[in-house]
Amino acid sequence: MSLSGPPPASAFNANVILLSLCQALLTTGNILLVSVNALIGKELAPSMALITLPMAMQFIGLMVATIPASLIMQRIGRMNGFYLGNLIGLLGAACSGMALVEASFWAFNLGTFLLGIGIGFGMLYRFAAIEAAPQGHQGRAVSLVMAGGVLAAVLGPNLAIHSRGWFAATPFLGAFMGLFGLYALALLLLRAVRLSAPTASPSNEPPRPLGQIVRQPVFVMAVVAGVVSYAVMNLLMSATPLAMIRHGFSFDHSAHVIQWHVLGMFVPAFFTGRLVERFGAPPIMLAGGTLMLLCILVNLLGQSRWHFWLALVLLGVGWCFMFVSATTFLTRAYRHAEKARTQAANEFLVFSSVALSALAAGWLEASLGWVVMNWLMLPVVLGAMTLIGYLSQYHGVEVTRQPLG
């Protein structure tokens, strides 16, 4: 059972580890969905343009949840918000499973929409870790929570592969039964987490208007890094299984490439927080952008299994550098009383772009092709890197060690 009141100092590691495990279960479900959603869409969708609509509905649900999730947690507390999110996830998994049994494309979209809402609540695990961390260690706390994805990299694709044999008549039904179990396990783990009860702002300064907050160079840089890293990563990752099958590879091949991609996303999280504390967030954002450019270059050079593998590993590491540094950097943009609104605005902007990228992935791959998709991503990444570099240099944003908090 979750306890109120401030946890003892010795509880910090236990809390962050438990949040990391919850994040791992959430990410396992996400990777499971990435592995099967486009393929289910290909079987059930009434047209090629709608193949990735179930994945888009997942991110639309996430987008819809971002602002309410932060505000609900401000009102009822982090823990109750996480409980609510997991319950919605359970409902989404059950709905998706029933939709597969009935072969209903639109009911399946409803299920992935509900799953997206649950994920929207779960994406705030990283902010809970920041709040649980001692002063000066927020970057490491974010890294540790995000590093829970290493477990997801092993579990997610393997669960997608092996669950296909659980129900011979409905091959992907087992994936959603497994997803139901992941959310149930997260509920059990949450009962052992101890977070401080919400406290009043330690400052007497009134909260600033949201418009003033979002115009800060720090906020703009954090959002641009978050939006571009997540949208480009999600678009290329979502289209990869379709591109691989188009080039003659099997489902198992694409699932294993996704597995290595997820390892690239989360293994570096063990040390990305330390890099941010050592060098500052903007240089790590730019390093991540460079890796994403290398990913695009590899995709343009060929479509062998090794090209897909190397490109997605580079894409995962680049995303990790950009997203962890953006999350850490965002904490500099708000005061205590502004936390919920600022985090909500950030999550809405980031995951709105992710929803659009998921919706566009299937259409772009089917209509324009894999190579053209990658050419389109070049100016997006370059533009983001240019803006981050400009704001860092000309608007007084520190690029050396950051005072986190």
Q: What is the per-residue pLDDT across 228-281, written as a single tens digit (0 to 9) for each?
A: 998 899 889 878 887 888 877 777 777 778 778 878 887 887 788 778 878 888
Q: What CA–CA distance (Å, rounded) separates 120 from 78?
A: 13
Q: Is 334 left (phi over 0), alpha (psi -120 to 50) or beta?
A: beta
| Helix, strand, coil percent values for the chain (each to nearest 5) | 80, 0, 20
pLDDT digits (tens, 9 = 90+) for 203-214: 556 778 878 888
Note if the pTM is more than 0.85.
no
Percent above pLDDT 70 for the chain: 81
Q: What CA–CA distance (Å, rounded) separates 95 from 313?
A: 33
pLDDT digits (tens, 9 = 90+) for 301-353: 988 888 899 999 999 999 999 988 888 888 788 877 777 788 778 878 887 78
Mean pLDDT of 46-73: 77
Q: Look at residue 21 and tell me whether its pLDDT is greater than 90.
A: no
Q: What residues contact 329, with CB distance under 8 A and at least 6 apart?
A: 218, 221, 222, 225, 276, 281, 282, 285, 402
Find out whether 54 and 41 touch, Cβ atoms under 8 Å: yes
Identify the pLDDT of residue 347. Answer: 78
pLDDT digits (tens, 9 = 90+) for 153-200: 777 767 766 766 676 667 777 778 888 888 888 888 888 777 665 554
Find out whether 277 and 401 touch, Cβ atoms under 8 Å: yes
Q: What residues contact 91, with CB distance under 8 A and at least 6 apart?
A: 114
Closest CA to 87 of 186, 2, 168, 197: 186
Q: What CA–CA distance (Å, rounded) separates 114 from 85?
A: 10
Identify the pLDDT of residue 11. Answer: 41
Identify the pLDDT of residue 165. Answer: 67
Q: What CA–CA distance (Å, rounded) separates 81 from 86?
A: 9
Confidence band for 97, pLDDT divided at 50, 70 and 90: confident
Residues found in the chain: 405
Encoded tokens for 336: 């205590």
Side-chain-side CA neighbours of 321 within 13 Å: the count stands at 21
Percent above pLDDT 90 for the chain: 13
Question: Where along the chain do its domains lie?
Answer: 11-196+211-394
Mean pLDDT of 131-152: 66
Listed range (40-49, 206-215, 219-228, 322-331) with the worst mean pLDDT: 40-49
Higher-pLDDT residue of 199 and 59 is 59
**68, 203, 348 from 71: Cα distances, Å:** 5, 20, 12
Q: Which CATH superfamily, name and number, covers 11-196+211-394?
A: MFS general substrate transporter like domains (1.20.1250.20)
Sign of CA dihedral 65, 345, 144, 268: positive
Displacement of CA 158 from its chain's centroid (Å): 20
